[in-house]
Amino acid sequence: MSAAPGTAAVPLFVSTRGNTPAVTIDTALVAGLAPDGGLYVPAQLPQRQWDIDALATASLAEVGAQVLTPFFAGSRLQDALGAICAHAYQPPAPLRPLRDEGDHLLELFHGPTAAFKDFAARFLAEALSRLRAPGAPPTTIVVATSGDTGAAVASAFHRRPGFSVAILYPDGRVSPRQAHGLECWGDNVQAFRVAGTFDDCQRLAKQALADDAFRREVPLGSANSISLGRLLPQVAYYAQAACRFASTHGQPLNFIIPTGNLGNAAAAHVARLMGLPVGAIHLATNANDVLARYFHGEAYAPQPTRATLANAMDVGAPSNFERLHHWHPDDADLRARFAATSVDDATIREVIRHAPERHGVVPCPHTATGLHVLERLRAAGDTRPWAVVATAHPAKFEGIVEPLVGHAVELPPALAESLAHPASALELAVDYNALQSALRAMH
Ligand SMILES: *Cc1c(COP(=O)(O)O)cnc(C)c1O
């Protein structure tokens, strides 16, 4: 159901848990998590007869503005949406044909930190800056990261007036280049090397964000993947790729998406529900196989996180599952809308080793899970057109990739520039009092 044409209904956003009033998009963006612990979702997904040929020739920023406009009707950001999109979608998202007919790579790693998270982090930072009340006390964005989120959020908020960023990451569990990418910012960004796991980092961050008394003392904000402001902006690159493909080939494009918290894949699904020409969605996960088990018919059973080569996908309890289940409460119905395959580390290595010869590309370990799914589908006789989503640049994972392909992988210029800055981080124990002191000291 959507408002009748011509009425200026303000779109509302509800919690997946249903125990809190519906809010406007501005409130949902600032809040991050809903007060009842749920995730915000649009009360209605806008469906349109999209002009596919027009979207196919538009820039990514124009596509972003068009597909996001229905969500921002009546928002304080409505008139700024074009400018926000021009900022967020500066990096392109090219759809590159691979060696074999019908195989494509959707390259989402051309942003400043060389992973897809740059798009939504830049959108969110620009949106939150514009929603800030003038003269409000500075906000500290607290972000727990297993690698890529922290860098994208740091880059997006770096030197933004009114914001600082505290990054919590697990010491010794990210690649050396990922660590440098978290520690190289300076100014209003502080990295904390936590003596624990990613789950410890996340628990600490959540504890701070749930501590109202502390938040009155030190205003905190969140930019993690459950925020609506991280989900919706990702619809744009699926819309553009699918429309470009549909406009020339007259059929939807199918996507294989390397998946952890299910944020990127949830955005592809939103694009599909909005009537854009997105076909099948196949989730590729690493050895954390909770989604593969569920979509093969087992009960949904979150597990402790396992460390793998594709570390940004090391998730045992994908948070955006709650959104999918909200949209499709019936398990059989939900299972009919996705496929999922778990890929182990040995296979990831094998795919990286043969990808240059077989596909003409050097993949990062995350993208390799997607390429493996493509190879399995082709081996089983699948002839549909597929785009594997390339979620990060291989140069971020040089320690894994270079020995397998036997040569150095050239750094993209933006990454080379940030790696040239000196790195610095503070040590932090897995201790909430220690985190509070650290955040007070930053404030
Ligand atoms: C975050 C990330 C993923 C997983 O994305 P989700 O939205 O959490 O499913 C995959 N690959 C890379 C490189 C990432 O940084």
Span from the CA of 143 to the centroid of ligand 1 (angstroms): 15
225 lines ligand 1 (CB under 6 A): yes
Span from the CA of 325 to the centroid of ligand 1 (angstroms): 20
224 lines ligand 1 (CB under 6 A): no
Residue 210 pLDDT exceeds 90: no
Residue 292 pLDDT exceeds 80: yes
Residue 2 pLDDT exceeds 90: no
The pTM (predicted TM-score) of the whole model is: 0.95
Report the pLDDT value the prediction gives residue 284, as an integer from 0 to 100. Answer: 98
Answer whether residue 33 is part of any domain: no
Residue 203 pLDDT exceeds 50: yes
Span from the CA of 117 to the centroid of ligand 1 (angstroms): 8
Report the pLDDT value the prediction gives residue 8, as an integer from 0 to 100. Answer: 54
The confidence band for 220, taking pLDDT boundaries of 50, 70 and 90, is: very high
Q: What is the mean pLDDT of the chain?
A: 94
Q: Both tokens of residue 107?
A: 């390259």
366 lines ligand 1 (CB under 6 A): yes
Q: Which amino acid is at 429?
A: A
Residue 346 pLDDT exceeds 70: yes
Is there a contact between 275 and 246 (Cβ–Cβ < 8 Å)?
Answer: no
313 lines ligand 1 (CB under 6 A): yes
Answer whether residue 26 is part of any domain: no
Nearest ligand 1 atom to the CA of 234 is 7
State how far the Cα of 43 lies from the Cα of 140, in Å rounded to an integer.
29
Residue nearest to atom 7 of ligand 1 (CA): 263
The confidence band for 173, taking pLDDT boundaries of 50, 70 and 90, is: confident
CATH number at residue 91: 3.40.50.1100
Q: Which of 12-16, 387-391, 416-420 has the weakest average pLDDT?
A: 416-420
Task: Give one DSSP letter per residue of 40-79, joined into a string.
Answer: EEESS-------HHHHHHS-HHHHHHHHHGGGGTT-TTGG
117 lines ligand 1 (CB under 6 A): yes
Is there a contact between 363 and 275 (Cβ–Cβ < 8 Å)?
Answer: no
Answer whether residue 25 is part of any domain: no
For the chain, percent of residues with pLDDT exceeding 90: 85
260 lines ligand 1 (CB under 6 A): yes
Span from the CA of 21 to the centroid of ligand 1 (angstroms): 30
Residue 391 pLDDT exceeds 90: yes
Span from the CA of 261 to the centroid of ligand 1 (angstroms): 7
Q: How many domains does the chain have?
A: 1
The confidence band for 1, taking pLDDT boundaries of 50, 70 and 90, is: very low
Answer whether residue 12 is part of any domain: no
All residues at 6 or more sequence positions from 370 whose CB lies less than 8 Å from its CB, including other chains: 256, 257, 258, 284, 363, 388, 389, 390
All residues at 6 or more sequence positions from 70 whose CB lies less than 8 Å from its CB, including other chains: 11, 46, 48
122 lines ligand 1 (CB under 6 A): no
Task: Give the structural domain span for 274.
Answer: 86-116+231-411
Residue 118 pLDDT exceeds 50: yes
State how far the Cα of 15 lies from the Cα of 13, in Å rounded to an integer.
7
Answer whether residue 235 is part of any domain: yes
148 lines ligand 1 (CB under 6 A): yes
Residue 241 pLDDT exceeds 70: yes
Answer whether residue 279 is part of any domain: yes
DSSP single-letter state for residue 234? G
State how far the Cα of 193 lies from the Cα of 211, in Å rounded to an integer.
22
Using the Cα atoms of residue 290, residue 296, residue 299 and residue 300 in order, give the sign of their dihedral. Answer: positive
392 lines ligand 1 (CB under 6 A): yes
258 lines ligand 1 (CB under 6 A): yes
The arithmetic mean of pLDDT across residues 122-149, rounded, is: 92
The arithmetic mean of pLDDT across residues 167-189, rounded, is: 91
Residue 115 pLDDT exceeds 60: yes
Report the pLDDT value the prediction gives residue 216, as an integer from 0 to 100. Answer: 93
Span from the CA of 119 to the centroid of ligand 1 (angstroms): 12
The confidence band for 239, taking pLDDT boundaries of 50, 70 and 90, is: very high
Mutate which of 113, 261, 288, 369 to test ligand 1's pocket (most atoms within 8 Å of Cβ)? 261
Answer whether residue 181 is part of any domain: no
- List pLDDT tens digits, range 255-278: 999 999 999 999 999 999 999 999
Report the pLDDT value the prediction gives residue 4, as an integer from 0 to 100. Answer: 46
The confidence band for 91, taking pLDDT boundaries of 50, 70 and 90, is: very high
Nearest ligand 1 atom to the CA of 152 is 15
Residue 235 pLDDT exceeds 70: yes
Q: Both tokens of residue 188?
A: 């209003």
